[in-house]
Chains A and B, each alone.
Chain A
Amino acid sequence: GAGVSQSPRYKVTKRGQDVALRCDPISGHVSLYWYRQALGQGPEFLTYFNYEAQQDKSGLPNDRFSAERPEGSISTLTIQRTEQRDSAMYRCASSRTGTGLGTEAFFGQGTRLTVV
């Protein structure tokens, strides 16, 4: 598509449920990033992929969080056994290559997750 697409835009879930957030990057973009943004804060790095390989997952807060990009395109961020502190905006971005190599990242609209 023309831009990075994330779904759903809004998700309300009960504490303890699992959620899956989807990101469809710009076609042909090699790198895909997940960020989390709490209210009043800037985006916080979670993880990134080059093609289907997860290159860095150092930002994932704990083992309830996981991400995959099995075919090097669409990515899913999964949060198991959600907790209220997981409530945030989850942002996905993609770039032709890494942002440090001369390219910029394009962001999607984000998924607003609320855990009640």
Chain B
Amino acid sequence: AQSVSQHNHHVILSEAASLELGCNYSYGGTVNLFWYVQYPGQHLQLLLKYFSGDPLVKGIKGFEAEFIKSKFSFNLRKPSVQWSDTAEYFCAVSPLRGGGFKTIFGAGTRLFVKA
């Protein structure tokens, strides 16, 4: 079965620390990849996405992610986190087979940034 695995459920960092959140998926075919973020009290919103082309994708607020096809990974990075990055982050995969309508989410990683 298709699945998305996020390596850490909870991460605590100090401001200015670097961030890397791991994401691996299990699906052999072509996929589109996403990172969504949910700030406290708000709805899920797209952080960045990969559909094709350059495997290093840049998103909003200084986030980036790298798609490594051979490792089935799509890790999220930010060089220097801020207190306002405190949120829950979800990796998601949308297999293209069947039309690409079904998106599978990981369990999420809660990030807390200490001021």
Q: Which residues of A contact B (CB under 8 A)?
A: 4, 31, 33, 35, 40-45, 48, 50, 55-56, 59, 91, 93, 98-102, 104-110
Contact = CB atoms under 8 A, between A and B. Distances in A.
28 contacts: A4-B43, A33-B103, A40-B9, A41-B108, A42-B4, A42-B90, A42-B107, A43-B105, A45-B102, A45-B104, A48-B101, A55-B101, A91-B44, A93-B44, A98-B100, A98-B101, A99-B32, A99-B100, A100-B32, A100-B95, A100-B100, A101-B99, A101-B100, A102-B51, A105-B46, A108-B43, A109-B42, A109-B43
Interface of B: 4, 6, 9, 32, 34, 36, 42-46, 49, 51, 90, 92, 94-96, 99-108
Contacts of A4: 43
Nearest to A104: B46
Contact of A99 (B4, B43, B44, B94): B94
Nearest to B97: A100
Given A42-B108, A107-B44, 4 more contacts: A98-B101, A99-B32, A100-B101, A106-B46
Contacts of A98: 94, 99-101
A102 B100 CA distance: 9
Contact of B99 (A42, A100, A110): A100
A37 B105 CA distance: 10
